[in-house]
C-alpha cells in the first residue's frame, strides 16, 4: 500500500469545526461592537438633548421672552396610549405629583425647537425640573430594557463588572498554565 501525505478525514472535520467556531465567534464579536456603538450614539444624543432641556428650563425660569417648555405636558395627556404605557411599565411612577415638569417630545418640530437633530422620529419624555430624559423605545441589553438616561450608568457598571470578571478569569487561566 502506498502512504498518503494528505489530511485525514478526521483532520478535515476538525479543521471545518474550528473554522465554523471562529466565524460564529467573529459574528458575535461584531454584533457586540455594533450594539456598543449604537448604545454610545444613543447616549450621546440623549446627553445632548438633556443639555438643551437644561438651557430651555433655565431660560423659562429667568422668564426670557418667548421661551416656553417644548412638547406636550404629560399631565394634560394622561389618557394618551403612550403615556399610559409608560406608567404601566413603571418608567414614570404613577405616584408622581401631577407629573410636574414632564413633557412629551414627539415631533420633528419639538426637536428642531430644541436644536437637536438626531432624535427626530423618536418619542422622548423630558423632565424640565430633574432633567431626566426618558427614551420611549428603550434599549435592550441582555434581556433588560433600559429607558432613562440615568440607566446608562447602570449599563456601564454592568460592563465594568463583566470586564473585571473576564480579566480575572484570563489572569487565573494564564497563572495556571505557567
Residue 157: what pLDDT?
62
Q: What is the three-class DSSP state of 54?
A: helix
Asked whether residue 164 carries a pLDDT value surpassing 90, the answer given is: no
CA torsion through residues 89, 94, 95, 100, sign = positive
Residue scoring higher pLDDT (116 or 169): 116
Query: Among residues 141, 56, 173, which one has the least CA distance to residue 105?
Result: 56
What pLDDT, in 10s, does the model give residues 42-57?
Answer: 888 899 999 999 999 9
Q: What is the pLDDT of residue 24?
A: 93
Q: Is the pLDDT of residue 177 over 50?
A: no
Q: Are 71 and 83 in contact (CB under 8 A)?
A: no
Residue 134: its H or E element = strand 133-141
Separation CA 92–CA 95 (nearest Å): 8
Output the pLDDT for position 27.
Answer: 93
**What is the pLDDT, as a whole number, of residue 30?**
93
pLDDT digits (tens, 9 = 90+) for 29-82: 998 888 888 888 888 889 999 999 999 999 888 887 777 889 888 888 888 888
pLDDT confidence tier of residue 174, bands split at 50, 70 and 90? low
Q: How far apart are CA 170 and CA 151, in angstroms?
A: 29
| H helices present in 71-147, as ranges | 81-88, 108-113
Give the pLDDT band (50/70/90) at residue 122. confident
- Dihedral of alpha carbons 102, 108, 112, 118, sign: positive
| For residues 104-111, average pLDDT | 88
- 117 against 29, higher pLDDT: 29
Contact yes or no for 92/99 (Cβ under 8 A): yes
Mean pLDDT of the chain: 81
Amino acid at each position: 500500500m502506498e502512504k498518503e501525505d494528505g489530511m485525514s478525514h478526521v483532520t478535515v472535520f476538525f479543521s471545518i469545526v474550528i473554522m465554523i467556531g471562529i466565524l460564529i465567534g467573529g459574528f458575535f464579536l461584531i454584533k457586540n461592537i455594533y450594539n456598543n456603538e449604537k448604545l454610545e450614539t444613543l447616549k450621546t444624543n440623549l446627553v445632548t438633548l438633556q443639555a438643551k432641556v437644561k438651557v430651555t428650563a433655565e431660560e423659562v425660569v429667568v422668564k426670557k421672552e418667548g421661551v416656553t417648555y417644548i412638547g406636550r405636558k404629560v399631565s394634560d395627556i394622561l389618557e394618551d396610549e403612550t403615556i399610559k404605557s409608560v406608567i404601566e411599565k413603571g418608567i414614570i411612577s404613577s405616584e408622581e405629583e401631577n407629573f410636574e415638569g414632564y413633557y412629551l417630545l414627539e415631533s420633528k418640530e419639538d426637536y428642531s425647537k430644541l436644536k437637536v437633530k438626531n432624535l427626530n422620529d423618536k418619542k422622548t419624555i423630558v423632565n424640565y425640573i430633574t432633567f431626566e430624559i426618558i427614551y420611549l423605545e428603550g434599549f435592550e441589553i441582555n434581556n433588560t430594557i433600559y429607558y432613562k438616561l440615568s440607566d446608562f450608568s447602570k449599563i456601564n457598571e454592568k460592563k465594568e463588572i463583566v470586564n473585571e470578571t473576564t480579566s480575572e478569569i484570563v489572569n487565573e487561566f494564564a497563572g495556571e498554565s505557567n
